[in-house]
Amino acid sequence: MTTEKQKSSSNLATETVPENFEHAFADLEKIVAQMESGQMSLEASLAAYQRGNALLQYCQKSLAEVEQQVQILNARNQLSPFQPNQE
């Protein structure tokens, strides 16, 4: 029998892109806490790891973009929006 916690954990990898940095970071913290609890199945742990990795990449990219904005601000003494390269 699959528990509700296992069901929600197994869906972690299929969730969409976070709304913003704060939501992504909060979700990442929840995933870490769930994984540290040791109560997840192997499959749920793998899904949580995959989702956590995606959230981590999102957070790192968001921080890099903000850092670039700060560098632009420092160089020009005004805040200009940073336009990341489209991949």
Q: Is the pLDDT of residue 10 over 50?
A: no
pLDDT digits (tens, 9 = 90+) for 62-86: 999 998 888 887 777 766 666 677 5
The dihedral built from the CA positions of residue 41, 42, 44 and 48, taken in this order, carries a sign that is: positive
3-state secondary structure of 79: coil
pTM for this prediction: 0.67
Give pLDDT, residue 2.
46
What is the architecture, at CATH level 2, of domain 4-76?
Orthogonal Bundle (1.10)
pLDDT digits (tens, 9 = 90+) for 40-59: 999 999 999 999 999 999 99
The better pLDDT of the pair 78, 30 is held by 30
